[in-house]
Structure 1
Amino acid sequence: MRTVTYLDTVDHRLRRKNLVLTHQRAGAAGELVLAGNGDTYTVHLKEPPRWPARLEQLPHGVVRDELGPVIGIRAVLPTLTARTVTREVAVRDGQGDLVARFDWAETTATEPAATEPLVRITLYPQPGSRKAGERLAKGLRAAPEIQPAPATQAEAYTELLTATGALREAGNGRPPITRDMPADAAVATALLGFADTIADTLDGVVDDVDAEFLHDLRVAVRRTRSLLKLAGDVLPAEPVRRYAAEFAWLGDLTTPTRDLDVFLLRMDDLAGTLLACEGADLRPFVEHLRAERDRAHGELVGGLLSQRFSSLLDGWRRELDAVLEKSDTARETSVGSARQLAEKRLRRAVKRVVRMAATITPDSPGARVHDLRKRCKELRYLLEVARPVCDARAHRAALRDLKRLQDVLGDFQDGEVQSAALHTFAEQLQASDPRPPAATLLAMGELAAGLVAQQRQARADLTGVLREFLGPATQKHLRAL
C-alpha cells in the first residue's frame, strides 16, 4: 500500500498543462514524481516535505527544474490524498499453466473527501499464450461494470478530483449572467463572484502561501470598487454607499504588503540591470525589504482576521443575495436588462477613456497620465464583467487593444512609483543601525536611475500607442461591443 498526495497550484497550472505532480510514500520520505506528456521525472526525498511549498522550497533536481516554467511564483499544495493498494493476480488455464497476470490497483481518495474505490486493471498476457490473453481481455471488456481506464495520468487525476467533489464549478451554483437577466441581478452576480474570490484567497494570504493570493484578492477588491462606481446605482443606494467605503479600507489595508511583494519579485531582474555595481551590493536592501514586508504582512493579517473584515464580507454577501432573491414584482422595472445596462455603461466608459486619451500629449503632467490609467483599468474590469453579453469577437479585439495601452501606462506608473519608493527606502536604511555600506546606496541609486529611464521610455512609447488606440481599427472594435 502506498499513500499518494496530488499537488497543484491553486489555479491548476499543472492540470491545465496535463501534468500530474505527486508525493508518493510507502514508507520513509517517499519520492516526488512529475508525470505527463509522455515523460516521468522522479526525485527521491531525504526527508518528508512540507506543504504548501514554493519552487525554491522544493528539493533540487529534475522535478524542480521542470516545474519552474509552469508554476512560476505560485506554491504547490495538496489537492487530494489517496491510498492505493496493488495486488497481482495470476490467471491459469485448466491445466494450471499461467496464461496471464494482471495488476489490480485499488485507489481510494481520503482527502478532501472519502470516495468509493476506483479500480484499474492492467493485463499482461504471458508469452506464448497470446490467444488466451486476448480472450481474457475480451471478456473483461464485455463486462458491463468494467469501463476503459483513463488513457493518461492526467485523466485519472481528473477522475479522482471529480469523485471527491474538488472540481467545484464557478459561481457556487448561481445562474450565469445572461443578456436578458435583470441588470441588478447581473451586477449582484458579478459582485458575488468577486466576494467568492476574496473568501477563497483569504487563507492563502493569511498563511502567506505565495504572493499571488494577495494579488488575486486585491484584483477582486478593485473589480468590486470599479463595478460599484460604474454600475452600483442599480443596487440599493445605502448598502452601496456603506460597503464602497469598507472596500476602500480593504484596498488600503492590502497596499503596503503588495507594493513590497512587487519590489521583491522584481529584485532579481532589477539586480541584473546593474552595470556599475554588483547584485550582491543590494543584499542589505533586500533584507530591509523583507523585514518591512514581514511587518506589513503582520498588520495585514490583523486586519483580515478582524471583526470588521468578517462583517464586511458576510454583510456584503447578504445584501447581494437579497438582490438575487428579489421577485420580479418587487424589482423596479427601470433597472432594465443586463444587455441594456452593459450597452449604456460601456458606451459611457469608452467615451470617457477615448476623450481623456485624446488630451494626452508629451507635455501632459504625470498625474494626467495616471488618471488615464485608472480610467482604462475601470473599463477593463467593466469589459470583463460584460463579457457574457458582448459580441465575442469584438470583445476579444477591444480587450487586446486596451491591454496594449494599459501595459505602457503600467510601465510609466511603475517607473515613477518605484523610483520614489527607492528614495524612501534609502532614507530608512540611512537612519538604521548599523548603516548600510556605501556600495548598497550606490546600487540603489543605479536602480532608481534605471526606473526613471523606464518611465521616460514608457512616456515616449505612449505617443505611438495612443495614436494606435485612437485610430480607426480600435475605435471600430470598441463600437462593435
Structure 2
Amino acid sequence: MRYLLDHDIDLAAFAQDLCKKRSLTALSPLNIQRQFMDSFDWRLYKANVALELELAPGHRKLLWKLTDNSSPDLVFPVPRAKLGFAADLREGPLKDRLAPLLEMRKLIAQLTITTHRQPLCLRDQEGKTLLTLNLEHHQLQDADGQKVEPLPPCLTVEAVRGYDNAFAVCIDYLENKLQLSPSDTSLFQDGLVRLGRYAGDYSSKVKLVLEPSLPAAETTRTILRTLYTTMLRNESGTIQDIDSEFLHDFRVAGRRTRSALSQIKNVLPQTEVDIFKSEFAWLGQITGPTRDMDVYLLDFEKYRNLLPELLKPALDPLKTFLTRHQRSEQQKMVRALRSKRYRDLKKNYTAFLEQETPDSEPPAKAQQPTKKTADQRIWKTYCRLVEEGRAIHPESPAEDLHELRKTGKKLRYLMEFFQSLYPAEDIKALIKSLKLLQENLGNFQDLEVQTHALQGFANQMQQEKIGSVDTFLAMGALCLHLNEQQQQARTEFAERFAAFDDDINRDAFQQLFHKTSRSSMKSKG
C-alpha cells in the first residue's frame, strides 16, 4: 500500500510520532536509486510488465512486476553487466522472460528516481518482523539525468506473509486515525506525469483523428507534423546507436513523409513540396547503408541456421565483417546528421510545416475537404495496384514485382494516414489484406537484395583478407538457400495477389473509397 503525504510534511517528526504511538523501531535510512526500465517503444509495458532496478549500498535487486497485480512480484539478482539487450544476458529465467518481449530492442531507463527511505519496523516480543513502514521522499531525474523538483513524499506499507492481522490494524490506523488515502497511482506514474509523459507515450504507428470536412492542406500538414515528431524523437537514439530500431523508425517516418508529399497531390505549394521530397530522399540515402548492415546483423542467426552444422562456425567471419562495416557506416551517417545540410533541412521544414496555405492562388485541391481527397487518392492508388498486379505473369521480370511493392507501400501509407475517416473494422480488414500481399512482395525483394549483397560481401572479404575457404563455401550455400526462398515467394505471389484481388475485397474497397461508381473496377478476366 502507498499513501501520498503533504509536500511540506516534516518526515523526521512524523517518523518519531509513528514510532512512539505504534511501537515501531526506526532502522538505518537508505538512499536508493530506482530505474524504471523498458524499451523506448514500451514493449514491457504493453505486455503488462514493469521492470524496476533498485540500487543502494548492500541492496541491489531487480523487480519484475505485472502491472495488473495478477501475480506476486518476482525478484531477480542484478546482472553484473549493465542491463541492455536480452541477448547479452546469461541464460536463465530473466533472459527467458525478457528475450521474447524485447527482441532487438535495448532496455533503457525510462525514468530514474532517487529515494531517501526511512524504514520503520513493527516487531513482536520475539523480535520477529510483522510489517515495515517506509517513509520516502523522492528526487526525479529526467532522461538526461538532470534533477527536477521533488515528487510528493509518501508512506508505503510492506506486509509480511503470515501476519495479516498486523497489516490490517496498521492500515486501519493510517486510513481512519490519520485520515490518509491510498494512492491509486504508482511512483512510476507520478514521475512520468511530472515530466509531462505517460506510459506508452511513444509508438511508431500513425495514430491520428482527422476531421473529414477540414481543408486537405491543413490535414496534410497535420500528418506531416506527426511524422516529423516521430522522426525527431528517434534522432538522438539513431545518432547514439542505442539499438537498431531507432534508425528503423527514423527512416520509416522519413519514407512516410516522402510518400505523403508525393501522394497527397495538389494541396501544398509544389515548389516547396519538390524541395522537401528531394531532401527527404537524400535523408533516405545517407541512412540506408547503416540500416542495411543492421538488418544483416539482425538476421545473422537466421542465416546461420540455414546451414548444416559443419558449416555454421565458418560463417563467423561474416559477422565480424558486418560489424566492422556497420560501425563505419554509422560514423558516416552521424557526420551527415550533424551536417549543415541536415540542420538547414530541419529549420526550413519546420518553417514549412508552420506556414498557412496562401489565400491567393492556393494549390488546386488545398481547400478540398479531407475526406474527398482521401477517397480520391486511395481509390486511384488502389486501381493502379490492381492494374499492375493483374499484368504480372510467370515470365514477368523481377522489376515488375518491385514496382508493385512500391505501389502497395504507397497505398498502405495513404490508408494509414486517413484511416480515422473510415469505419475502423472495415479499413483495418483492408489494411490487413494488403499487408499479406506486401509480406510476399517484401520477402521476394529482400531475398533478392540479400543474395546479391552476400555475393558482394564475399568479394570485399577476400580483398580485406577476412574469412577462409570454408567461409566462402558457407556464404555460397547460404545464397543458394536464399535464392530457393525467393523462388518460393515468387511461386506464392499469384495466390497472394488473387486473394487480395477477389470480389469481396474489391467491393469493400469500392464501398469505402468510391461509392459513386460501382462499375469502374471490374472483376479480373
State the TM-score, normalizing by the size of structure 2.
0.81
Give yes or no for contact 2:34–2:55 (8 Å, CA) kept in 1: yes
1:248 matched residue in structure 2: 281
Specify the alignment match of 2:211 in structure 1. Answer: 178
Partner of 1:19: 49
Pair 1:462-2:493 in alignment: yes
Deviation at 1:163, TM superposition (A): 3.1
Are residues 127 and 395 of structure 1, via their aligned partners in 2, closer, same or farther at CA, if it must alter by over 3 Å? closer
Distance 1:127 1:356, change over 3 A: closer
Query: Mean alpha-carbon deviation: is it higher for 462-471 or for 111-120?
Result: 111-120
Deviation for aligned residue 1:364: 1.1
2:301 is matched by which residue type in structure 1? D
Quote the Cα distance in structure 2 between the aligned partners of 1:479 and 1:222: 27
Is 1:147 aligned with 2:181? yes
Letter paired with 1:27? P
- How far apart are residue 45 of structure 1 and its match? 3.7
Judged with a 3 Å threshold, the aligned counterparts in structure 2 of structure 1 residues 106 and 431 are, in CA distance, closer, same or farther, namely same
What residue is the counterpart of 1:298 in the other structure?
Answer: 331
Q: Does residue 1:391 correspond to 2:423, yes or no?
A: yes
Residue aligned with 2:389, SS: helix
2:183 is aligned with what amino acid? A
TM-superposed CA distance for 1:212, in Å, is 0.5
Q: Is the 8 Å Cα contact of residues 247 and 291 (structure 2) preserved in structure 1?
A: yes
Which structure has more helix as a fraction of its residues?
1
Partner of 1:73: 104
Within a 5 Å distance, the mapping from 1:114-153 to structure 2 comes to 114-122=149-157, 137-138=171-172, 140-141=174-175, 146-150=180-184
* The 10-residue stretch of structure 1 (334-343 or 304-313) with the greater mean CA deviation from structure 2: 334-343
Q: Would you say the 8 A contact 1:86–1:103 is kept in 2?
A: no
User: Residues of 2 paired with 1:208 and 1:365: CA distance?
Assistant: 38
Report the counterpart of residue 244 of structure 2 in structure 1. Answer: 211
Separation in 2, partners of 1:480, 1:386:
16
Q: How far is the alpha carbon of 1:400 from its aligned partner? A: 0.5
SS of the counterpart of 1:75?
coil
> Do the aligned partners of 1:277 and 1:439 also contact (CA within 8 Å) in 2?
no
1:362-373 matches, cutoff 5 A: 362-373=394-405
Cα distance per residue 1:112-132 (max 9 Å; x no partner): 1434225243276999995x9
2:506 to 465, 475, 478: 475
**Alignment partner of 1:20: what SS?**
strand
Q: Number of residues paired by the alignment?
A: 465
> Structure 2: how far apart are the matches of 1:285 and 1:126?
54
Deviation at residue 202 of structure 1 after TM alignment: 0.9
Once the 2 structures are TM-superposed, how far is the Cα of residue 149 of structure 1 from its aligned partner? 3.3
Give the Å deviation of 1:436.
Answer: 2.4
Deviations 1:151-188 (A, max 9, x none): 8xxx55334322332329679xx995322222111111
Q: Is 2:64 the counterpart of 1:34?
A: yes
Mind listing any 5+ residue stretches in structure 1 that lack a counterpart? 93-99
Report the Cα distance in structure 1 between the residues aligned to 2:106 and 2:151, rounded to whole angstroms.
Answer: 30
**1:50–1:135 Cα change, 3 Å:** closer
Further displaced range: 362-371 or 38-47: 38-47
**Preserved contact between residue 33 and residue 63 of structure 1 (Cα < 8 Å):** no
Deviation at 1:345, TM superposition (A): 0.8
CA distance, structure 2, for counterparts of residue 320 and residue 242 of structure 1: 13
Question: C-alpha separation between the residues in 1 aligned to 2:60 and 2:418?
Answer: 48
C-alpha contact 2:151 2:191 (8 A) present in aligned 1:
no
Residue 350 of structure 1 is matched in structure 2 by 382
- C-alpha distance 134-65 of structure 1, shift in aligned 2 (>3 A): closer
1:235 matched residue in structure 2:
268
Percent identity, aligned pairs only? 28
Q: Aligned partners of 2:309 and 2:92: how far apart in 1?
A: 34
118 and 468 in structure 1: CA distance in 2 versus 1, 3 angstrom threshold:
farther
Matches within 5 A, 1:401-420: 401-420=433-452
Provide closer, same or farther for how the CA distance between residues 409 and 111 of structure 1 changes in structure 2, counting only shifts above 3 A. same
Label 1:470 to 1:127 Cα distance change in 2 as closer, same or farther (>3 A). Answer: closer
Q: Which of 450, 454, 468 is the equivalent residue of 1:422? A: 454
Q: Is 1:226 the counterpart of 2:292 in the alignment? A: no
Q: Summarize the Cα distance change of 1:345–1:120 in structure 2 as closer, same or farther, 3 Å threshold.
A: farther
Match of 1:200 in 2: 233
Q: Give the structure 2 partner of residue 188 of structure 1.
A: 221
SS of aligned partner of 2:106 = coil
Partner of 1:339: 371
Please state how far the C-alpha of 1:5 moved relative to its aligned partner: 1.0
Q: Deviations over 1:2-59 (max 9, x none)?
A: 1111111100111112211122111268333322252434333475x546x2223445
CA 1:447 to 1:90, structure 2 compared with 1: closer, same or farther past 3 Å?
Answer: closer
